Structure 1
């Protein structure tokens, strides 16, 4: 009875229809089609781990949302960006996919993020061109620009619970350049990543910044020499200076925390010394911006923090005239050509230029004007003192002459 059924045309047609369907279903199960797996309630992990190494795949998430005109040009080599990097241990930072054992950042422990700030999101044409270089060279990096208004929101969100004193200080500072300096430290301290001024361009992929021998080493912060100076002797302040138009750090960097605390203490002391609240602080009250919030105070306190961590003094002798990046403890110091090639005369015996600085900072004009105004005030005060002294001298002479006329010895 079964044999005639198997030989019937109806059964053969049924087999011809069902067999391809079964083969298609088996193929779908084999290649792990996710919608089908979800409908079947399976939880099998994908076979290929390669896509997981790319945390963000669309342009909306890799570019700075506040600047609506950002549209980094795609590159044919983008897909191989992460896969071509030397293998390194998975990072443990606090950005997207941080818990994935397959996720790696371009620099171990430092989030793939570029921070920038501006008064508004309306940038000049040349600024936009400079800004684009970061995502063109690093298509998988997030890029975020904070405006004056969104910066306040950011600082409140990140520090209100743990450091309300910093929120109060930031909102009280009346001088734009001082706020801008403090903001860059707070942004990277809170979330980690790379800070870049709007007039700095990325010349080489961030994944290539760290030499091979340091790629698996813990790095707390990356800085570059702006001024490469010789040691001035025992008991003197560090002579060299790191630039602060570009630097990088892991979230909650201890060296960056030391800088933030030093800046806060210095600003409060200046206000107290001048008997004014922070809101009344003026540029004329400062010795120099670089010493109060800028690269000099950053240099001094990064090295003090490193000295404390290593329990030994760190000074210019450790990194003067370096030709290649040098890791001291967990601080990676770049030679002058890396971040400040123009400042250092484009030396041809050092490692590659990583960042170009175009020195377009408008704050310098305000700082120069403030210094000139301060000098004028000092000259006026000195002239007034001399006039007062001259008046007193003349009054004393008149009194003496009168006394002699009256016969008083």
Structure 2
């Protein structure tokens, strides 16, 4: 059964100074929880032997369209042994409360958000961190290469997160390179996804404080750019930040840009631009014979690009 998107009730504050105290306390608690949570999370979420063969999807208020169902069914047909899990707002809220009961800052931040695209971005990081598997946006179609063959055999044991360039080939160095967020693969407990989550929680409270509203009062127009706040740019920054911590050195796009085959950096496997975003960049003629097949086809539905920041009923 498909359920309409839930509407979270906004919390109203009549006293601005009282609200400021709430924000400060929340940020302090966030810092404390992050410190305390660090060791317990790493112990509780041990690496799995394999990345789960599960594809996660998030349904909007209109449910699963005929086209999206064809793409999802096609993925399962091409990948025997994989299952699809469709999340809706009603079961998401309960899952968040149960799975992140040790992180009240995460629960509070997610449940209070009302902009659909912010929640969808947040959800993919939470699901893959806690459960592992693959995240697909509903407008993603599988290519002909089986998912089990995405990671080169000699890199499988070392790979805990698989991401691919959205913008890479054909772009000059003065333009932004960023990771695609419509397709992500991960083992559960990735420290890099934990960094994304922690950074996003902090930004939610900082942005709310900037506009003197609770997290439930954040509106799309208050944010300079969704892609930067919670989407691909956020994912890119936080993953590189986490890699710097784990590798103990400066890390930037020069380590993995312009690649024509998968490249492992730490425990993160970077896919070339053709893998997840073949239409976003043009490769020079001299390397055309070295470009591999598309792993996924992204159809760019853009259902979040409206004043509400999400699909309307």
TM bucket, shorter chain: 0.7 to 0.9
Cα RMSD, aligned residues only: 2.3
Match of 2:118 among 174, 178, 187: 178
Match of 2:221 among 284, 287, 305: 284
Question: Is residue 157 of structure 1 aligned with residue 94 of structure 2?
Answer: no
Q: Give the conservation status (yes or no) of the 8 Å contact 1:109–1:219.
A: no
1:120 & 1:135 partners in 2: Cα distance?
A: 23
Q: Secondary structure of the residue that 2:212 maps to in structure 1?
A: coil
Partner residue, 2:265: 328
* Bigger relative contact order (CA 8 A; separation at least 6): 2
Question: Is residue 344 of structure 1 aligned with residue 281 of structure 2?
Answer: yes
Q: Give the conservation status (yes or no) of the 8 Å contact 1:220–1:254.
A: no
2:300 & 2:308 partners in 1: Cα distance?
A: 14
Q: Give the conservation status (yes or no) of the 8 Å contact 1:220–1:255.
A: no
Question: Is residue 139 of structure 1 aligned with residue 80 of structure 2?
Answer: yes
Q: Secondary structure of the residue that 1:109 maps to in structure 2?
A: coil
Q: 1:245-302 CA distances to partner (integer Å, 9 max, x unpaired)?
A: 0011110110000001111111110100111111111111111001110000100010
Q: Secondary structure of the residue that 1:365 maps to in structure 2?
A: coil
Q: Give the conservation status (yes or no) of the 8 Å contact 1:239–1:316.
A: no
Counterpart mapping for 1:13-162 below 5 A: 109-120=50-61, 122-160=63-101, 162=102
TM-score by length of 2: 0.78
Partner residue, 2:209: 272
- Alpha-carbon deviation of 1:325? 0.4
2:62 & 2:85 partners in 1: Cα distance?
A: 11
The higher radius of gyration belongs to 1
Question: Is residue 192 of structure 1 aligned with residue 132 of structure 2?
Answer: yes
Segments of 5+ residues of structure 1 without an aligned counterpart are 1-65, 68-92, 99-107, 233-237, 370-409
Partner residue, 2:177: 240
Q: 1:10-31 CA distances to partner (integer Å, 9 max, x unpaired)?
A: xxxxxxxxxxxxxxxxxxxxxx
Change (3 A) 1:113 1:121: farther
Count of residues in correspondence between the two structures: 261
Q: 1:359-402 CA distances to partner (integer Å, 9 max, x unpaired)?
A: 01210234799xxxxxxxxxxxxxxxxxxxxxxxxxxxxxxxxx
- Alpha-carbon deviation of 1:109? 2.9
- Alpha-carbon deviation of 1:121? 7.4
Q: Give the conservation status (yes or no) of the 8 Å contact 2:115–2:308.
A: no
1:133 & 1:364 partners in 2: Cα distance?
A: 26
- Alpha-carbon deviation of 1:120? 4.5
